[in-house]
């Protein structure tokens, strides 16, 4: 087996959906601009030597349909030579593509792949435009195949006795950590500034244009407090504990990394930043979707031949505070190394992009801390989980 290296990675800031800063920016545009930025950082690489563009997307239809991966390649690389593919494993799609790229290169099927994810939840609704559920499965009692994620979050909160107070505190901390990270400029080097052009009807009823640059997370709220969070009403169950405040935000964003074979790294004289040591997706009970990482992390560690105590940093996607806490308690994760710069409750969760976005974040944070091993992990719809273990190289 050959070794595949990650050379560089970037992401956009994350905008709120459906009424945030990227609401008139399509996900193919966010992706193309991120890729252009990525290639600028690796001037030695000729575009034609890229073997594939792999894009994770959880709702690949509508504005994200028609194999967005190929369209992003055309829009971002200024050549017809590089193909593109769209990959979907819901919330781990952006990590899945990095794993697939790594595997292809390791097996000798490719030398250079752009992998990541892009999602505009502003443009495609959760569940897609025309969901058509299998009546026979449902009638046979498998409604949980299609449950909304919030319903599963309530189920996890109930099964693992995660209190409302704990969920709200976790969420409050997510905001505080994210705000501090932004203030300290932690994300500066990850983020590709995106120019958004808006054509609109102004107060006088006339067509008008304006543009602005987005380079900062839109989600974190300085004005939130435990009191405010405590007042929010549960949205998925009467008497439940999951609120808009302790769930991840709907978001828009894109993130990509460049994965390369050892041979090409040497030829171009590049310095890799990391490698993906192992990646596993797993299946769990669909109604308890949120516990996915509880199964995925041990399995990924085992494949990597590592122990939890070897891990320096964890990016655990905060789909919901209830499932994040259930996973952290279930695996006895050290809270001090989990989501040190805040998570999706504060910054958002652009579904198919998230795996790649968290990867970009963890590379930079590991480097800042001069540490070696990091895990990116998330729960995945319809009862799945995924975890990837990175080793920082420089």
What are the residue numbers of the active site? 91, 349, 379
Beta bridge partners of 384: 283, 380
Q: Degrees (nearest 5) of the Cα angle 133, 287, 93?
A: 70
- Least Å distance, CB 339 to another protein, is 28
Nearest to another protein of 1, 135 (CB atom) = 135
Nearest to another protein of 147, 279 (CB atom) = 147
DSSP-derived letter for residue 349 is B
Helices and strands, counts by H and E, the chain? 12, 13
Nearest to another protein of 141, 185 (CB atom) = 141
Based on the number of CB atoms within 10 Å of its own CB, is 158 exposed (0-12), middle (13-18) or buried (19 or more)? middle
Name the H helices within 110-261: 135-139, 149-159, 164-183, 226-231
Nearest to another protein of 133, 244 (CB atom) = 133
Alpha-carbon gap, residue 220 to 18, rounded angstroms: 16
Asked if 268 and 46 count as a contact pair (C-beta separation under 8 A), the reply is: no
Nearest to another protein of 138, 244 (CB atom) = 138
- Least Å distance, CB 142 to another protein, is 9
- Least Å distance, CB 91 to another protein, is 19
Owner of token pair 């995660």: 162
- Least Å distance, CB 186 to another protein, is 33
Q: Contact residues for another protein (CB under 8 A)? A: 129-139, 143, 146-148, 151, 154-155, 236-240
Backbone phi, psi, residue 356, to 5°: -75, -40
Residue spans of beta strands (DSSP E) within the chain: 4-12, 15-16, 52-56, 84-87, 112-120, 191-192, 194-201, 207-214, 251-261, 274-283, 313-316, 373-380, 384-392
- Least Å distance, CB 284 to another protein, is 18
């Amino acid at each position: 087996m050959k070794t595949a290296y990650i050379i560089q990675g970037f992401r956009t800031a994350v905008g709120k959906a459906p009424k945030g800063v990227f609401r008139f920016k399509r996900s193919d545009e966010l992706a193309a601009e991120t890729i252009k930025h990525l290639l600028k950082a690796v001037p030695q690489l000729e575009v034609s030597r890229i073997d594939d563009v792999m894009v994770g997307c959880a709702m690949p239809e509508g504005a994200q349909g028609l194999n967005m991966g190929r369209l992003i390649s055309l829009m971002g690389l200024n050549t017809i030579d590089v193909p593109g593919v769209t990959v979907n494993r819901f919330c781990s799609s952006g990590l899945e593509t990095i794993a697939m790229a790594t595997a292809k290169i390791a097996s000798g099927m490719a030398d250079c792949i752009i992998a990541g994810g892009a999602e505009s939840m502003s443009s495609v609704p959760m569940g897609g435009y025309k969901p058509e559920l299998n009546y026979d499965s449902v009638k046979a009692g498998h409604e949980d195949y299609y449950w909304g994620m919030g319903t599963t979050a309530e189920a996890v909160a109930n099964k693992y006795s995660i209190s409302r107070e704990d969920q709200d505190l976790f969420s409050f901390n997510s905001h505080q950590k994210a705000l501090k990270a932004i203030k300290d400029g932690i994300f500066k080097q990850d983020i590709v500034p995106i120019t958004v052009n808006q054509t609109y009807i102004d107060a006088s009823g006339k067509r008008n244009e304006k543009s602005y640059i987005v380079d900062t997370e839109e989600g974190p709220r300085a004005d939130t407090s435990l009191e405010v969070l405590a007042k929010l009403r549960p949205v998925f169950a009467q008497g439940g504990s999951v609120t808009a405040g302790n769930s991840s935000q709907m978001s828009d964003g894109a993130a990509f990394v460049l994965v390369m074979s050892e041979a090409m790294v040497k030829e171009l004289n590049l310095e890799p930043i990391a490698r993906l040591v192992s990646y596993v997706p797993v299946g769990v009970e669909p109604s308890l979707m949120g516990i996915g990482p509880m199964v995925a992390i041990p399995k990924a560690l085992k494949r990597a031949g590592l122990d939890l105590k070897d891990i320096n940093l964890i990016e655990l996607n905060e789909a919901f505070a209830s499932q994040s806490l259930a996973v952290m308690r279930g695996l006895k994760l050290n809270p001090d190394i989990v989501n040190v710069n805040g998570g999706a409750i504060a910054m958002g969760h652009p579904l198919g992009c998230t795996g790649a976005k968290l990867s970009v974040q963890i590379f930079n944070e590991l480097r800042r801390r001069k540490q070696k091993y990091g895990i990116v992990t998330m729960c995945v719809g319809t009862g799945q989980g995924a975890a990837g273990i990175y080793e920082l190289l420089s």
